[in-house]
A and B are shown apart, each in its own frame.
Chain A
Amino acid sequence: MEIKVLQNILGANEAIAAQNRQLLDEHKIAAINFMSSPGAGKTSLLLQTIKNLKSKVKIGVIEGDVASKLDSDKIKGEGVAVIQISTGSSCSLEAHMISLALKDLPLTDIDLLFIENVGNLICPAEFALGEHKKVVISSVPEGDDKPTKYPLIFTETDVVVINKLDLLPYVDFNLNNFRRALKGVNPKVKIFEVSCKTGEGLRNWYSWLLSEVKAITTR
């Protein structure tokens, strides 16, 4: 006997993501999903951002990592609420992991929640977490061909932060090529060009984050 199913395989993940989103909305928390390849500077950008914004907004962090607690220890040092998820064999955070983490975070005491995904440009593109905005961090040494090679994640994202601008003189990275390829797959994407090392360009990034927090809290 044949049974018609016609059911989305990621449906369960999407349903949980929608619940997460609702919980975040109820608490007026702006949630940002940080995605990048390993070493692009997710944690560096996060640390810089926390240092600069923690006097203005209440920040929480969900840290996804395959095994170690290195990143969450660094962030704990900044005195913000952080939950570490060890994803084990999984190559991406998934909505149910976020749902568990949200239970352990002091939600009434958070305005801005960063979700640092597993370092990977493929899998995280497939899993909604309930975030309000997706941010991909791409760094200069990775090369300007990343939007061409991994179009899906660049198609899905709201924002791209190009990090390690201070290394531009030393590597063959053409900013125009990168921007053109990125805008090709995603004309609406917002781009920030920064260096976490020198602080260049970070002010615009901070303003954008604050405007996101404002948009949620005044809704």
Chain B
Amino acid sequence: MHELSITQSILDISLDKAKAAQAYKINKISLVIGELTGFVSECVQFYFDFLSKDSIADGATLNFKLVAGELRCRKCSTTFNPKDIMWVCPICQSRSVEVIGGRELYIESIEVETNGDKSPTKYSGS
């Protein structure tokens, strides 16, 4: 449910960066989302389509790179990807585990169009 505010942040950051690059259109936003963050990409896409209307990001594709959750067993140091919600070491069955990956949540890059890269002919002004 908190995807709404997350999506707003994604849009804000992207618009900010695009503005700094003097872009007039955002075509693609590449996101890195760790599985353990619990963010549902379908939700993010849904809210994004809604929130980005009337902005230069309207119609942009969201590209999700999902990072698998990675845990380390505190007893035998095995690292593993939890298969489901049960955090149990597959080797020694210990439940004493720590999170070492899968909590990523950032924007990797955005793809934009600027006057510079679209065509050498610039707007001729008024």
Binding site for B on A (CB under 8 A): 1-13, 89-92, 94, 122-123, 126-127, 148-149, 151-152, 155, 180-181, 183-185, 187
| B12:A12 contact, CB within 8 angstroms | yes
The complex places the Cα of A89 from the Cα of B36 at a distance, in Å, of: 23
Q: Which of B94-126 contact A (CB under 8 A)?
A: 94-99, 105-114, 116-117
The complex places the Cα of A3 from the Cα of B29 at a distance, in Å, of: 10
Closest to A151 in B: B87
Q: How far is the CB of B45 from chain A (nearest CB, A)?
A: 14
| B109:A4 contact, CB within 8 angstroms | yes
Specify the main secondary structure of chain A where it touches its partner. mixed
For the A-B complex, the count of residue pairs with Cβ-Cβ distances under 8 Å equals 99
| B1:A152 contact, CB within 8 angstroms | no
| B17:A3 contact, CB within 8 angstroms | yes
Please, could you name 14 A-B residue pairs with CB atoms under 8 Å apart, sorted by A?
Answer: A3-B110, A3-B112, A5-B107, A6-B109, A8-B106, A9-B6, A9-B31, A12-B12, A94-B5, A123-B2, A126-B37, A185-B95, A185-B96, A187-B74
| B107:A9 contact, CB within 8 angstroms | yes
| B13:A152 contact, CB within 8 angstroms | no
B10 CB within 8 Å of chain A? yes
| A9:B10 contact, CB within 8 angstroms | yes
